[in-house]
Amino acid sequence: MDQLVRRVPEALGVLYDRHARAVYSLVLRIAQQAASAEEIVQDVFLQVWRNAHLYQPSRGPVEPWLFTLARNRALDQMRLKREKQRRREETLESQPLACAAPNPELLVDRQRRAERVRSLIGSLPVPQRKAIELAFFEGMTHSEIAKALQEPLGTVKSWIRTGLLRLREALEEA
């Protein structure tokens, strides 16, 4: 990150090589469209390049910071798309959308990664899994999750943190 702050282009390449796949997987889960996910990942790494000076090592490792940037960008993008769609539907009739099939090798790779992540998430205790799914894939805040699950806010935060730490450890072992 120090090299990124000093604008060393190779540092961005190293960061991208190390983390792009994981960031893409997260964004794809939220965006549900490969093209949107690719665009969001590109935006995230551009944002990192422009704002590397904002990273604070004292607050934690780079990877969670990247995931937070990616998650927020993906959720913002999805909200924007929903709003545009809502406006479009108000003024025009819906038209069927054409969908191109992705590369078969890419599909197989995605399926394998998705199965691994599903397996790990499925191994979490139900409260942790539900809290993580609501936070990361539904875009709910901790307070909203606490209300939806009818649990104290501190409990929900603890579930999410503990669950994410367990997932992280399991993914690092793989």
**Cα–Cα distance for residue pair 44/41, rounded to 1 Å:** 5
Same domain as 83, residue 4: yes
Range of the domain at 32: 1-91
Token pair 């009818």 is found at: 150
Q: How many domains does the chain have?
A: 2
**Cα–Cα distance for residue pair 40/27, rounded to 1 Å:** 7
**Cα–Cα distance for residue pair 21/67, rounded to 1 Å:** 11
Decide if 96 is inside a domain: no
* The domain boundary residue, chosen from 60, 91, 122: 91
* The domain boundary residue, chosen from 69, 91, 113: 91
* Residues 6 or more apart whose Cβ sits within 8 Å of residue 156: 131, 142, 145, 146, 149
Asked whether residue 86 carries a pLDDT value surpassing 70, the answer given is: yes
Residue 166 sits in a domain whose CATH number is 1.10.10.10
Asked whether residue 168 carries a pLDDT value surpassing 60, the answer given is: yes
| Sign of CA pseudo-dihedral 2, 5, 8, 14 | positive
**Cα–Cα distance for residue pair 73/65, rounded to 1 Å:** 12
pLDDT digits (tens, 9 = 90+) for 48-81: 888 888 888 888 888 888 898 999 999 988 888 8
Q: How many CA atoms lie within 13 A of 60 on its CB side?
A: 7
pTM: 0.49
38-45 mean pLDDT: 92
Is the CB of residue 168 less than 8 Å from the CB of residue 120? Answer: no
Decide if 30 is inside a domain: yes
Helix ranges, 32-152 (H): 34-50, 62-91, 104-122, 126-136, 142-149
Same domain as 7, residue 82: yes
Asked whether residue 5 carries a pLDDT value surpassing 90, the answer given is: no
pLDDT digits (tens, 9 = 90+) for 115-147: 887 888 888 899 999 999 888 888 888 999 999
